[in-house]
Structure 1
């Protein structure tokens, strides 16, 4: 009965109501209303989310998704505890049609948004909501309502993001290597397009490395491209997490939060030594390794600050501007993975362990694919062999308007 409601989503505009800000309480991030007071229902959910061991970045991500949901409910005039699957469905429809909210209009990137970079052959981000963003939004909203329905046993009567229970037998196509998920497919989840690994060719990697502006950047990127560690994992490195003798780094894995020692290339440790030597005063053992190049005063005097993910993105932005490319930090992870996959001395299990995948199927589904460049090369060789072994059939009659000499140039001796 909820799906009978129809809205003209093309007329809906979300306001700038509320904000997400850091908090000094149990939840490191909270959603605030226009009176700068925490939204109590979200606050209680995020505190429980933190208690489950989720990271600060995950809490921030959930907070922004719930802020968008609150703005949506305000735009359509529905209380949060009165929302139904009709509101969840219409939000998905709106996200599929609307442009992303931006604090500032595009300037430099306006001409490239949504286009293909001729060097990297990668698409630039456009102003539409990606399928992964919509799926993440659905997962957050469903988790929020499940908390209030199941755990608190109060509040709303239904979850606005329902499960799709009408599509045959549950787990009919389940991969036996994967664990069974506790829930089925969400009804309004858009399908994800299949993406190939975004590997940086060796010559392009050398160009990118040469465009970096500091020893810090060279050390950081060479670490990532050697073992495929995630940006979040590398940024949190401390001096105590470096094993100089065995050339290992210790990272805290995303998701599991487990500590793991990873090997790194000798070249990356050379750049690490150069970077640390250039700091003048070596950081304390438990101090963050990567520091800003400029000093800032954050209330404790003028000093260098830990490098953030946004600052790391700016490093690549400057290099991309020089080269006319659009490489990302995740491309370095893909590059490391593909290099390891091609090494006959490394098994898929080895690569899974280094990349930190929970399941071997994740590694296999993403990286154990036929190399596109090799496929193209083999098909070109096939064309050349066909042309050599099977000449083109001669054409007896020349159609009116064609010159015989020109046709001879095109088809050579096969033309009669």
Structure 2
């Protein structure tokens, strides 16, 4: 461990894999425990409040891993969590920006592509570094954690995740001296995030991807995704009672709001979905639609299991291996949104509702041109330019032959006769 009073180089610090995140039965689905298996009480109480505010299990899991990383960091720099300052947050951000993410196993097949750009999709492969969005998420979680404890009067006096004050002035946001002080502005140590543009799967690439799938279940899943713009988690939550065959609708539980919404899908997707349903004729209304193709033993004997997100990723990973691509389920959501934007019969408000965006400004991001379409249009332009006959150059003699006499007179300051 390194004492805070000692000088140290952030790059030289090694953060041990102390503690872990465990699943739990009950209201709070995840807890953070130390090496002895004891629950971290400050984190546990914060997560209980976090769940009570209506956050999903996925968000609880994400927050748990961020707080576990924070506790590991505090152990290295030997600072109690109640005495953490912006210095510890700053050093953690610096460390995250230069270190590699821990892995449970070494890379094998993906070692040759890590950090490179796929030549077919023009999308970068994931690398082993923490992305800027991950660091920003880390800061947001820590600020929320300390806001909770400061409001309870049991944390530090100031939130260690500081914000930049706008205009260099101290904004007054308190209505009384009993309310905690909250400064305004962007989080101080948030790295800049490069702008991301929506990327659609070109039609010819979509045909290749669909042909590379090996089961009706996989074809139904991707056909629904590319025609309904539903997220992967929303599709995985489908039950038999969530399918309206007459109006060709599916009912999904929206991410974040957890609201139920009926959204349309293509007729082709419902044809493939019918084949999937036929494979489970005895399914009850509350049973999930998607199941594994192979039987697995989860303590109750060999039987098929509901399809998980990791299993769905494996489906795409096998197809990407055959095609030497790196498409994701979210690319299909982008594809559906951009296809709808091309249809003049659909308004931006219609697309917002289908995508499940709370704000229209989020949907407007899809108005940015996809670089694949832009490059195609420029190629067509270059072909048109190349087909034009070259311009004929006018060669003039040294004595000025070939030029208009009046123009020459004006050029040389003479009065034309």
Under a length normalisation based on structure 2, what TM-score does the superposition of the two structures give?
0.86
d(CA) in 1 for partners of 2:96, 2:9 = 13
Q: Kindly provide the CA deviation profile for residues 152-208 of structure 1, in whole angstroms up to 9, marking residues without a partner as x.
A: 22122221211111456899xxxxxxxxxx963111111111111121111111111
Distance 1:262 1:13 in 2: 49
CA contact (8 A) 2:199 2:370 kept: no
Alignment partner, residue 334 of structure 2: 334
Which whole-Å deviations, capped at 9, do the CAs of 1:25-67 have from their partners, x for residues lacking one?
3210011100011111101111111111111111001101111
**Count of aligned positions:** 381
Contact kept? 2:239, 2:288, Cα under 8 Å: yes
Instruction: Summarize the Cα distance change of 1:5–1:185 in structure 2 as closer, same or farther, 3 Å threshold.
Output: farther
Match of 1:178? none
Instruction: Please report how far the alpha carbon of residue 391 of structure 1 lies from its aligned counterpart in structure 2 after TM superposition.
Output: 3.0
Provide the C-alpha distance between the structure 2 equivalents of 1:313 and 1:395, rounded to a whole number of angstroms.
66
What pairs with 1:9-158 in structure 2 (closer than 5 Å)? Answer: 9-150=10-151, 152-158=152-158
1:5 and 1:86 in contact (8 A); partners too? no
Larger radius of gyration, structure 1 or 2?
2
What's the offset of the Cα at 1:383? Answer: 4.0
User: Structure 1 381/390 Cα, relative in aligned 2: closer, same or farther at 3 Å?
Assistant: farther
In the other structure, the counterpart of 1:400 is: none
1:292 lines up with 2:292 in the alignment: yes
Contact 2:18/2:35 (<8 A) preserved:
yes
* 1:322-357, Cα deviation, whole Å (9 max, x unpaired): 111100111111111111111111111111100001
Question: For residue 309 of structure 2, what is the aligned residue in structure 1?
Answer: 309
TM-superposition CA deviations, 1:235-265 (whole Å, max 9, x none): 1111111101111000111011111000011
Question: 2: distance between equivalents of 1:273 and 1:350?
Answer: 27
2:338 paired with 1:369: no
**3-state SS of the aligned residue for 1:293?**
coil
SS in structure 2 at match of 1:272: helix
Inter-partner Cα distance in structure 2 for 1:35 and 1:105: 27
CA contact (8 A) 1:18 1:31 kept: yes
- Quick one: distance in 2 between partners of 1:263 and 1:4? 61
Cα distance, 1:168–1:4 mapped onto 2, change above 3 Å? farther
Is the CA contact 1:241–1:251 (under 8 Å) kept in the aligned structure 2?
A: yes
Deviation at residue 100 of structure 1 after TM alignment? 1.0
User: TM-score normalized by structure 1?
Assistant: 0.87
Equivalent residues in 2 for 1:158-173, closer than 5 Å: 158-167=158-167
Mapped partners of 1:12, 1:317: distance in 2: 35
Q: Tell me the C-alpha RMSD between the 2 structures.
A: 2.4
Deviations for 1:303-327, whole angstroms, at most 9, x for unmatched residues? 2211111111011001111111100
Deviation at 1:295, TM superposition (A): 2.0
Alignment of 1:207-356 (within 5 A): 207-279=208-280, 281-356=281-356
Q: Is the 8 A contact 1:28 1:56 kept in 2?
A: yes
Pair 1:185–1:395, CA change in 2 (3 A): farther
Any stretches of 5+ residues in structure 1 without a counterpart? 172-181, 397-416
CA distance in 1: counterparts of 2:394 and 2:99, whole angstroms: 56
SS in 2 for 1:120: coil
